[in-house]
Amino acid sequence: EKSYKAIRQLTEKLGIYPPHSPKTDEDIKKEQGIHELNQAKLLSELKIAELERQVIQLKTQIQLGSKDYIQKLEERLKELDVAKKAYKRRAHSLESELSNVVDSHTQEYRTLKLDQEELYSMLGELQQMTGVRIPVEVEGLQQTLSKGVLSDSDSLHPEDRCLRVIRPAVNKALPLVEDLKQQLKATESTLSSTMSLYGENFNDKEELETFFEHFSSFVLLYRQVKQYNLLQEDEQRAYERQQARYKEEQKIKELQEIAAREGRTNADSVIEQLRNPDHA
């Protein structure tokens, strides 16, 4: 009866922590999408590296006097520009997907940690209260009632008060114990899946103990790097705008110089005609 009350209290506490849902098709697709994006990003990196190598070779050939390579160089430079733009899009998509996953796991990992710590803490409390492990005691009592000494009519009268107290309590406790098992199993399954995604082994005691600390550090570092990358992108865009303005100013300046030269040439021609009217 004491064990039953303890398990009932535990189940009531667990009521505020609903079991984690199994991995959905959407979750699986999201993980596959991240994997495919990462593969596409790696392929883009390889293509860019190969094109850059070809560009260097073509520039070397041109410097050595091989003018036939100029057209090939222009083609490779265009391909390289297209590849870099595609890479940037894929990298941005991958970063966006990873950001969503990290944000999702950041919210989820607190619940995971709380669930796991709460479950083990409650089991520890019950073990201290009852002196035996839960749910072993309830299952043991059930075995005793069905097959053990409490099932032997020669040893115990069927209407014995001991049975009237124990049997109802055990019957009520069994589904509660099963709920507890399922809750613990669901929590450990979700935690194992999450750890696996980050390259950690749930069955490794040391990795299990340090996972939440490592994950917190990872989230902090990830956000710092993301913020740094955003600042770098802003600086790059500002630099590109500055370069575009500079080129535009240079172009205007060149056009003005050309116009000035043409004006001087026309003026010189008119003066020459005035000096030599016969020649005109």
- Give the pLDDT band (50/70/90) at residue 20: very low
Residue 19 parent element (H or E): none
Q: pLDDT: is 61 or 118 the higher one?
A: 61
The 3-class SS string of 203-215 reads CCHHHHHHHHHHH
Looking at residue 197, what is its pLDDT? 75
Closest by alpha carbon to 95, among 229, 232, 244, 280? 229
- Which tokens sit at 134? 């839960």
- 120 membership: H or E segment, kind and range: helix 69-130
Q: Who contacts 60 (Cβ-Cβ below 8 Å, separation ≥6)?
A: none
d(CA 63, CA 56): 11
Q: Please give the DSSP secondary-structure letter assigned to residue 280.
A: -
Enumerate the H helices of 131-160 as residue ranges.
136-146
Distance CA 10, CA 124 (A): 11
Task: Provide the residue ranges of all domains of the chain, joining segments of one domain with +.
Answer: 2-203
Torsion sign (Cα): 145, 148, 154, 160: negative
Q: Which amino acid is at 199?
A: G
List pLDDT tens digits, range 117-176.
555 555 555 555 444 444 555 566 666 666 555 555 555 555 566 666 666 766 777 777
Has this prediction a pTM greater than 0.85? no
pLDDT digits (tens, 9 = 90+) for 74-105: 676 777 777 777 766 666 665 565 555 555 55
